Amino acid sequence: MGSPFPSITIEDLSPSIEGGQFPIKRVPGQSVVIEATIFKEGHDAVRALLKWRAKSSHSKSTETENRNSKNQSLWQEIPMKLLENHRFQGSFQVTSVGFTEYTIEAWGDPFDSWLQEVKKKIEAGIEDLHLEAQEGAILIHAAAQRSKDNAEQQELINFAIELEKKSSLYSLKDFLKTERLLFLMHRYPDRSFSTLFEPFQQVRVDRLRAAFGAWYEFFPRSAEGKKESGSNFREALARIDDAKAMGFHVIYFPPIHPIGLTGRKGRNNSLECLPEDPGVPYAIGAVTGGHDSIEPLLGTIEDFQWLIAQVRERNMEVALDFALNCSPDHPYVQQYPEWFYHRPDGSIKYAENPPKKYEDVFPLNFYNTRWKELWKELLGIFLIWAERGVRIFRVDNPHTKPVTFWQWVIAEVQEKYPDVIFLSEAFTHPAMMKKLAKIGFTQSYSYFTWRNTKEELENYFTELTHSEMKEYFRPNLFPNTPDILPFYLQEGGRSAFLIRAALAATLSSIYGIYSGFELCENAALPGKEEYADSEKYQFKERDWNAPGNIKPWITRLNQIRNSNSALQNTHQLQFCHSNNNAIIAYLRSSEDNTNHLLIMVNLDPHQQQAATVEIPLHRLGIPYESPYCVEDLLTGECYEWKGTHNFISLNPLTHPAHIFRVKNL
């Protein structure tokens, strides 16, 4: 291997994010299908191998660097097949969490070229081919030299000797078809002028939970739903068991750190704070500590570790919020004043978005002269919580901190803890949303929260699942958050919650709800998407089993997700035509296309809606003229259908969705 100069053009590699600057993403067991345009000058036969290997480090590497690296695993290789017009394709499965790198090696193959030429001459009726036979024998002898297996070496030598004796078109014709010869020659090709594509491309392989999981968010101080005093970690078990019963995998807590007193906000973001007001968990830092500490009202580090052990026992895990806000009482303010913005009067600048003021929060200045200390400290915070057993971080507003910081800190954390998952909570412009996903965030919040109509949903999810985004952007769908109670939920009553739950649970394999959603809480501040009496500012009284709750619906959705691989990937999604804009229909399929679900949702929370839906029979492997049965996994009901067009009708009050499994009759 190793031509003195590139002999082959390998270009237009796909997928390749910004020319390989950023990795594509997978979880173990998922496959990577690579295509490239590969060609050489002249008429030589070109062969190509797809090569991949797990990487010991996440940094980019070149062949030179790798020669110096000891712990590099060996390349695995598979021949790529020619599609058409010099386009080659190959695929491999990733296995281990971390980074896998891949590239292509291609070469003009002297033996294949010889075969091609001799076949042409035979076709042209050229009779004397004794020189060609000798040339072929030389190539076979050379392959024998390259062989490391004695028996195969002897086989090749025998082939060469046989070929040397042949001299005419007639004697050669059948010999060239000898399968064993072709097999052995492909096994020991002459790669002395091969070209290796650089830079090597990367796959970030995350653990399974990165691509499939249902999240349940609650404020631990609200676990018991008491109005006057909150609850603590030790009292949170009931909430966790409830989430477990509903089928969730991840328990996500807003910040659990000490809450500042200076500038503390009262109910509904009031500037007047009463002594009993618990403060906003995002105003982090007090005399009792900062980002590495726990709010005393919730408990101690030991209580927290007891809680995550309890969660783990239930086969779930805890996700923490990573919010880079400091209250005026945060220890950093005294210790590292350079990290903050100072005003001419000596005060520290609090966060503002005029006319909004956040007097309880000091933003960090990432461009201060001691930025290196700041970055290292923040890395340390991730590592402390990782050491305490946390492996998922939901990062608050990453789009207001330097992209370069996230790229660095995520790489550093995953270098030490390759199983850490980072969820980007960025609701901002598309270029930034994509960039954060490219530079390292494992999952991303999405615009789903505000996509309500069929057209909006189809456009957005087509982009997510059919553009390059499917390679690196894993959308985690939240129909609500503590900051966002969408107007659709405010106005649509209980049905709206059923509908949005069904969409979130089936349009992506990762989704989550913020607690209260299951109770259809929809009281908002007038004209805003803010919850009325938001628990960001106060203790919240709740009956977790209040009448009208949709816990059975959510439970059923999660059961269906857990037992159907079609709902365990983010990208296998195909919309189906329905002749009513209030009915959205789509096919979800497993990675290996063995499990398919046909999903239909009535987007109108107020009216029964009916539609004729076009069924992609071809993808389902159903003959056009055969009857088939669809079973609604939500209700257990079965319908016998035939052909591509079938009628459905959905009542938003009772059953706003179908999730059909198709049974061939």
- Token representation of residue 513: 């709800």
Q: Which of 14, 31, 335, 404 binds a copy of itself (CB under 8 A)?
A: 404
Binding residues with a copy of itself: total (CB under 8 A) = 51
Tell me which H or E stretch contains 312.
Answer: helix 301-313
Q: Which is nearer to a copy of itself, 22 or 233 (CB)?
A: 22
At its nearest, how many Å lie between a copy of itself and the CB of residue 486? 23
| Position 5 contacts a copy of itself (CB under 8 A) | yes
Which residue, among 634, 623, 624, 628, has the nearest Cα to 660 in the 3D structure?
634
Collapsed DSSP state (helix, strand, coil) of residue 614: strand
Q: Which is nearer to a copy of itself, 164 or 533 (CB)?
A: 164
At its nearest, how many Å lie between a copy of itself and the CB of residue 6? 5
Which residue, among 283, 240, 243, has the nearest Cα to 261 in the 3D structure?
283
| Position 84 contacts a copy of itself (CB under 8 A) | no
| Position 402 contacts a copy of itself (CB under 8 A) | yes
Binding segment (CB under 8 A) for a copy of itself, from list 117-125, 555-563, 642-650, 651-659: 117-125
* Annotated catalytic residue, options 112, 242, 396, 521: 396
Q: Which is nearer to a copy of itself, 54 or 374 (CB)?
A: 374
| Position 124 contacts a copy of itself (CB under 8 A) | yes
> Of residues 466-495, which lie at the interface with a copy of itself (CB under 8 A)?
none
Which residue, among 474, 473, 475, 477, has the nearest Cα to 505 in the 3D structure?
477
> Of residues 146-205, which lie at the interface with a copy of itself (CB under 8 A)?
193
> Of residues 9-48, which lie at the interface with a copy of itself (CB under 8 A)?
9, 11-12, 18-19, 37, 39, 41-43
Active site residue 149: no
Q: Which of 135, 162, 359, 419 binds a copy of itself (CB under 8 A)?
A: 135
Which residue, among 481, 543, 450, has the nearest Cα to 222 in the 3D structure?
543
At its nearest, how many Å lie between a copy of itself and the CB of residue 4? 7
Handedness of CA 423, 425, 427, 429 (dihedral sign): negative
73, 54 in Cβ contact below 8 A?
A: yes
Q: Which of 177, 179, 343, 547 binds a copy of itself (CB under 8 A)?
A: 343
Binding segment (CB under 8 A) for a copy of itself, from list 118-126, 465-473, 543-551, 622-630: 118-126
At its nearest, how many Å lie between a copy of itself and the CB of residue 319? 23
Beta strands in 306-449 (DSSP E): 317-322, 325-326, 351-353, 356-358, 362-363, 392-396, 421-425, 443-444
646, 613 in Cβ contact below 8 A?
A: yes
Q: Which is nearer to a copy of itself, 402 or 623 (CB)?
A: 402
* DSSP bridge partners of 108: 46
Q: Which is nearer to a copy of itself, 336 or 639 (CB)?
A: 336
Which residue, among 118, 134, 106, has the nearest Cα to 46 in the 3D structure?
106
Q: Which of 67, 74, 131, 625 binds a copy of itself (CB under 8 A)?
A: 131
| Position 315 contacts a copy of itself (CB under 8 A) | no
Binding segment (CB under 8 A) for a copy of itself, from list 232-240, 353-361, 483-491, 542-550: 353-361
How many CB atoms neighbour CB 153 within 10 A? Answer: 17
Strand-pair category, 325-326 with 362-363: antiparallel
Active site residue 396: yes
Q: What dihedral angle (degrees, nearest 10) is formed by the CA atoms of 218, 255, 433, 505?
A: -10
Q: Which of 26, 249, 394, 435 binds a copy of itself (CB under 8 A)?
A: 435
Q: How far apart are CA 503 and CA 479, in angstroms?
A: 9
Tell me which H or E stretch contains 313.
Answer: helix 301-313
Task: At 166, give phi and psi (nearest 5°).
Answer: -85, 150
Q: Which of 134, 153, 368, 644 binds a copy of itself (CB under 8 A)?
A: 134
Tell me which H or E stretch contains 100.
Answer: strand 98-108
Amino acid in position 282 = Y
Strand-pair category, 87-93 with 76-79: unpaired
Give the footprint of a copy of itself on this chain (CB under 8 A).
3-7, 9, 11-12, 18-19, 37, 39, 41-43, 85-86, 117, 120-121, 123-126, 131, 134-135, 138, 193, 343-345, 352-355, 367, 371, 399-405, 408, 429-432, 435
Catalytic positions are: 396, 425
